[in-house]
Amino acid sequence: MKRGPFEVLKSKEIYKNPWIKVREDKVIRPGGEEGLFGIVEGASGSSVVALTKDDKVYLVKEYHYAQNETTYEVPSGGIDKDETPLESAKRELKEETGLTANKWTDLGYINPLTVVLKAPNYLFLAEELEEGEILDKEKDLIEVTKISFKEALNMVLNGEITHSASVVAIPKTARLKGL
């Protein structure tokens, strides 16, 4: 079987749980040498820049076990089965911040780590916001903050925000909105 310029000799599932699958592919490289690829397939996700009329943005501060650190980022989460990226974005925004939005703009998607990880993350801008109740089951572990968009952009540029979807979505929003 061909995969791009590579010939796949053997593909084997190494590990699987509800969130990730790890696969090893034995291949013949374009130059004729044998090689291995380790691929992690994760869940797809959606991330939302929630922007107010007065150019404030909502961020969530949350501890992430895999990184062993607490990070600031835009509201984000996995896409449930039979859910579109936009439906996921709307759900995650409501769950994590209590917000709903009347205007949505698709900002594209990213592949966070193209070398070994297959887990696309879809990016959205949410505007015309309405406040409501936070629904996340773990809402005690999430701190919601609203700051100026310029401050959030500076946090990206200064390395204070490291969440890949946030690092891409915030500057895309800046360019789109002229901020």
Residue 139: the pLDDT is: 66
Asked whether residue 136 carries a pLDDT value surpassing 70, the answer given is no
How many other C-beta atoms lie within 10 A of the C-beta of residue 6? 15
Asked whether residue 24 carries a pLDDT value surpassing 90, the answer given is yes
Placement of tokens 């936070």 in the chain: 134
20: buried, middle or exposed (CB in 10 Å: 19+, 13-18, 0-12)?
middle
Q: Mean pLDDT lowest for which of 23-37, 40-54, 68-82, 127-141?
A: 127-141
Rg value, the chain, Cα: 19
Instruction: Write the pLDDT tens digit of every residue in 102-113.
Output: 999 999 999 988
pTM for this predicted structure: 0.90
Instruction: Write the pLDDT tens digit of every residue in 159-176.
Output: 999 999 999 999 999 999
Residue 142: the pLDDT is: 85
Instruction: Write the pLDDT tens digit of every residue in 77-118.
Output: 999 989 999 999 999 999 999 999 999 999 999 998 888 899
Helices and strands: H and E segment counts in the chain: 3, 12
Cα–Cα distance list, 145 to 75, 148, 149, 177 (Å): 11, 10, 12, 21
